[in-house]
Structure 1
Amino acid sequence: MNYITPKLPGIIVVTIVGMAALFLSQHYAAPAMLFSLLLGIALSFLYEETKCQAGIEFTASHVLRFGIALLGLRIALGDLIALGWKTALLLIVAIASTIVVGILLAKVFGLSKRFGVLTGGAVGICGASAAMAISAVLPNDKHKDRDTLLTIIGVTSLSTLAMIIYPIIAGLLNLDETSTSIFLGGTIHDVAQVVGAGYSVSEHTGNLATLTKLVRVALLMPVVLCLLLVMRLNFKNATDSPPSFPLFLIAFVVLMCCNSFFDLPQLVTQTANDVSRFALVISIAAIGMKSNLKQLLLVGAKPIILLLLETIWLAGLILLCLPFL
């Protein structure tokens, strides 16, 4: 009790904000994570309140990792097999190249390499969830929370626009159902927006687009593991200790294997999915409360332009490769 009691005020506050975000999302058909982030930023003064600070910190770190770990129950290795090796290879190349493009563009814009990795991973893999997972393993610095916030705001907004625009593009290009599904699932950032875009075309398109998207989500952990490996190699000759292997990654892999090799009841997987979504929603609210709005405004338009160019790169690459699948 002595451990959790000081954190209760902050946890209660972010939970209320998360519930408000879900309510607004249901009534205004916009991403819950975006509402949660904006509400959190609006209530950032609560972070200065000593009674709330500990709980907000706890939610932004531990609850975040818990929510990411539970994402493992949304994925099965059979999804990758069902999609086919050509499509899976295309998604791997698309994610890797988007991260590389992010790093190169960040250098051009005078932004940090870490920010390029963060935005490239968010655009290439699964939007806000990927941004939070990658941020969780990146080394701490004074701009880490700010960069995470900027990435989440940008990638969520672009994902909502893509949900509307990409089905129109697919129609103008006369893509068949399979190609449309791979295009939507392989390019739109967040899972919810992929579902919305896919089923707006047809039920078959929605099913295959969602499957394609889940394969991208499954690639989140390999990407995070590669980042950890690179960071440990960079620490080889440094005096500081290298980053440790996060337990939430182990939990993610274990849960994904359980979902792959055991026939889990739908009630279990659906409950885990709902709990994971709520944990991520309140975690974003906590990250928003930790933010400094003045710092966000000082950064300017470069991060948004970076995210936009990464998004265009990903969509263009998938469209160019579709005829070869």
Structure 2
Amino acid sequence: MQVDARAKAAQPEWKRILPGAAFALMMGAVGLWLARLTFFQNLGLSALPLAILLGLIIGNSGLISNVPALNPGLEFAKAKLLRLGIILFGFKLTFQDIAHVGLPGIAIAIAMVASVLVVTWVLGKYLFKMDDETTLLVGTGAAICGAAAVLAAEPVLKAKSHAVSVAVATVVVFGTLAMFLYPLIGHALGMQPYAYGLYAGSTIHEVAQVVVAGRAFGEEAANYAVIEKMIRVILLAPFLFALSAWLRARTQATTHTRTPLVIPWFAVLFMLVGAFNSLHLLDPAWVQGILQFDNWILAAAMAALGVRTHWRSVKQAGAKPLLLATSVFVWLIVGGYAINTLVLLLFV
């Protein structure tokens, strides 16, 4: 046994990582395939939540519990591949898109992100008495860009796998509900395409869910909704910096020792990639190819996260995360409409 352990330790790092990383990439590919099926497209489920669900099923089935050789690669996938995926996610951005929704769109996006984070923190900490990690992850997913934002916040928070899985689950449940509810709300209130697009884009969790809810109202509304959603995505990097600085200040206040500021460099690179993409130097076909690759590695990171999450841990979280997410969803609908209406009255 000692000889085997020494032999494994003497292996090059890439050989230790390769089996688990390849397995994660394979699960990510399955998640991408599932996301192309009409059934899941109609539900607005993208590859990321499908990949984590696949990982949860495989990880908790016992099929790979006796294959420890996969562990290094799975850890690599949910850490390093995750960061690379967030960096390349910047190719979804072009700063020129902001001009299409104007100052009202920018103001609404900032107000919604800030309000959702505050509401989530107050309810999670003081009403439901939840832990910081789960509270912040639920709020991040609802405020910014769903599962991708939850994944981006995970390394900054150093969150446990089950907290990430719970937060992603709330994104899936309430984002799916939003796709069906929002067109009904928009028609009932007699909203115009521009106003509806800003409302849907500023308050629905995932990009895919925004697209479905927007198209259900009309193509013009869908275009405004996606651009508004992209402004929220752009706010991901400033949020991660603010989160890192806040965690540092809180640690210093409790320990009375100076700690260095942990800079989320992947967030810096995410913004730089977005700035580069705004120059339109790459052929659109290349950008599309990069985004497809990016979706694959993010799905692989999600799948690895799912494998490393045990049902027992998710069950131990109890009903509180669901109650918190329900409360935040009500705020997104009601508070979001109020903020959208007020901003449009001020600017238009």
Q: TM-score over 0.5 for the alignment?
A: yes
In 2, the alpha carbon distance for the partners of 1:227 and 1:269 equals: 30
The TM-score normalised by the length of structure 1 is 0.93
Q: Contact between 1:139 and 1:243, CA under 8 Å: does it hold in 2?
A: no
Shift of 1:133: 0.6
- Aligned residues, how many? 322
> Counterpart of 2:7?
none
Q: What letter corresponds to residue 87 of structure 1 in structure 2?
A: G
Superposed CA deviations along residues 158-216 of structure 1, whole A, max 9, x for unmatched, are 11221121111111111111111111111110001111121222111111111111111
Matched, 1:101 2:130: no
Q: Contact between 2:19 and 2:69, CA under 8 Å: does it hold in 1?
A: yes
> Counterpart of 1:116?
135
> Counterpart of 2:5?
none
Alignment equivalent of 1:82, drawn from 95, 100, 119:
100
Alignment equivalent of 2:325, drawn from 304, 307, 311:
307
Superposed CA deviations along residues 53-82 of structure 1, whole A, max 9, x for unmatched, are 000000000001111111111112222233
Matched residue SS, 1:300: coil
- Taking a change above 3 Å as real, the CA distance of residues 48 and 184 of structure 1, as seen in their structure-2 partners, is farther
In 2, the alpha carbon distance for the partners of 1:190 and 1:240 equals: 38
Q: Contact between 2:89 and 2:270, CA under 8 Å: does it hold in 1?
A: yes
In 1, the alpha carbon distance for the partners of 2:191 and 2:310 equals: 44
Q: What letter corresponds to residue 229 of structure 1 in structure 2?
A: A
Matched residue SS, 2:146: helix
Identify which range, 260-269 or 61-70, moves more after superposition. 260-269
In 2, the alpha carbon distance for the partners of 1:47 and 1:190 equals: 32
Equivalent residue runs for 1:257-296 within 5 Å: 257-296=275-314
> Counterpart of 2:180?
164
Q: Contact between 1:70 and 1:273, CA under 8 Å: does it hold in 2?
A: yes
Equivalent residue runs for 1:1-325 within 5 Å: 2-27=12-37, 28-29=39-40, 30=43, 31=45, 32-44=47-59, 45=62, 46=64, 49-107=67-125, 108-139=127-158, 144-236=160-252, 238=255, 241-242=259-260, 244-324=262-342, 325=344
In 1, the alpha carbon distance for the partners of 2:274 and 2:33 equals: 30
Identity of aligned residues (%): 29
The TM-score normalised by the length of structure 2 is 0.87
- Taking a change above 3 Å as real, the CA distance of residues 104 and 48 of structure 1, as seen in their structure-2 partners, is farther
Superposed CA deviations along residues 25-76 of structure 1, whole A, max 9, x for unmatched, are 2222242222211211112143663100000000000001111111111112
Q: Contact between 1:184 and 1:194, CA under 8 Å: does it hold in 2?
A: yes
Q: Contact between 2:108 and 2:340, CA under 8 Å: does it hold in 1?
A: no
In 2, the alpha carbon distance for the partners of 1:184 and 1:48 equals: 45
- Taking a change above 3 Å as real, the CA distance of residues 61 and 203 of structure 1, as seen in their structure-2 partners, is same
Q: Contact between 2:237 and 2:268, CA under 8 Å: does it hold in 1?
A: no
In 2, the alpha carbon distance for the partners of 1:120 and 1:199 equals: 26
Shift of 1:103: 0.9
Q: What letter corresponds to residue 319 of structure 1 in structure 2?
A: Y
Identify which range, 53-62 or 171-180, moves more after superposition. 171-180
Q: What letter corresponds to residue 162 of structure 2 in structure 1?
A: R
Q: What letter corresponds to residue 182 of structure 2 in structure 1?
A: Y
Identify which range, 219-228 or 193-202, moves more after superposition. 193-202
Superposed CA deviations along residues 228-251 of structure 1, whole A, max 9, x for unmatched, are 111222343645844521331121
Larger radius of gyration, structure 1 or 2? 2
Q: Contact between 2:128 and 2:320, CA under 8 Å: does it hold in 1?
A: yes
Identify which range, 224-233 or 59-68, moves more after superposition. 224-233
Shift of 1:263: 3.8
